[in-house]
């Protein structure tokens, strides 16, 4: 069966520091991968999606970037965090445009 | 008009009651539809897909009305454990970029 992992679970980082969040999927090949952010009490905002290795599409211009160095690995990065980057970051996978399955998320607080 | 719109609630209903939510979408070409459940500070989890013919899973029934562009979720005999936020998801086409999440409807079941 398929599983999706995200780490770390929680993170507190100062403004201006770098960020690296990792997501890995097991049990499937060539999934679509997604990064979402959910601000407190708000809906999910799609940040990036990827249909294959090194194929990344950005949905929202910002100081974040994403990379997919391997088929089942998706990384979200920032060189300098802003206060507004605080939120709940969720990685998800799907096969084509079908149902999405989410990882447990990373709760990021930028101080 | 938002692409996917939900009543944010909260809906506060007694245990055992029947409750229904609607979700409207603006893209008439949308192809697939889902309901997710999100518990507080957790990731969204797929509750059910919504098929053109409607579908039922135990106490949960989902329906699609293409003419009026909405989907609905009905919960019968509600349990305390049904308390959560319910997210409506619409896929505009088969591409990864057209998956839109609603902001969610909060449901609280009281004893």
Q: B40: which chain A residues are within 8 Å (Cβ-Cβ)?
A: none
Q: Report how far residue A63's alpha carbon sits from residue A93's, in angstroms, rounded to the nearest whole number.
A: 23
Question: Distance of alpha carbon A10 from its chain centroid, rounded?
Answer: 14
Strands B44-50, B32-38: pairing is antiparallel
User: DSSP labels for A17-58?
Assistant: --EEEEEEEES-SS-EEEEEEE-TT--EEEEEEEEETTEEEE
Q: Which of A36, A57, A107 sits opposite B97 (nearest CB)?
A: A57
Model pLDDT, residue B95 = 63
**Banded pLDDT at A82 (limits 50, 70, 90):** very high
Cβ-proximal residues to B44 (8 Å cutoff; 6+ apart), any chain: A44, A90, A102, B36, B37, B38, B87, B101
Lowest pLDDT segment from B26-35, B38-47, B60-69, B97-106? B97-106
> What count of residues does chain A have?
111
Mutation target for B interface from A2, A4, A30, A44: give the one with most B CBs within 10 A: A44
pLDDT at residue number A6: 97
Report pLDDT for B90: 92
Rounded to an integer, what distance in angstroms lies between the CA atom of residue B25 and that of residue B100?
9
């Amino acid at each position: 069966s398929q599983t999706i992992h995200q780490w770390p679970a929680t993170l507190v980082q100062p403004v201006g520091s770098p960020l690296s969040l990792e997501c890995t999927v097991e049990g499937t090949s060539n999934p679509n991968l997604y990064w979402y952010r959910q601000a407190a009490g708000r809906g999910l905002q799609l940040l990036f999606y990827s249909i294959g290795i090194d194929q990344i599409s950005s949905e929202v211009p910002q100081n974040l970037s994403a990379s997919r160095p391997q088929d089942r690995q998706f990384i979200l990065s920032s060189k300098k965090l802003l206060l507004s980057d605080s939120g709940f970051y969720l990685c998800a996978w799907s096969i084509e445009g079908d149902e999405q399955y989410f990882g447990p998320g990373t709760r990021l607080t930028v101080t | 008009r938002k692409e996917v719109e939900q009543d944010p609630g909260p809906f506060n209903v007694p245990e055992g009651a029947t409750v229904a939510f609607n979700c409207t979408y603006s893209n008439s070409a949308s192809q697939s539809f889902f309901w997710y459940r999100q518990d507080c500070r957790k990731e969204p989890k797929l509750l059910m897909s919504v098929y053109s013919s409607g579908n039922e899973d135990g106490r949960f029934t989902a329906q699609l009305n293409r003419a009026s562009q909405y989907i609905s979720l009905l919960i019968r005999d509600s349990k305390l454990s049904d308390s959560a936020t319910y997210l409506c998801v619409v896929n505009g086409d088969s591409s990864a970029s057209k998956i839109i999440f609603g902001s969610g409807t909060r449901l609280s079941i009281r004893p």
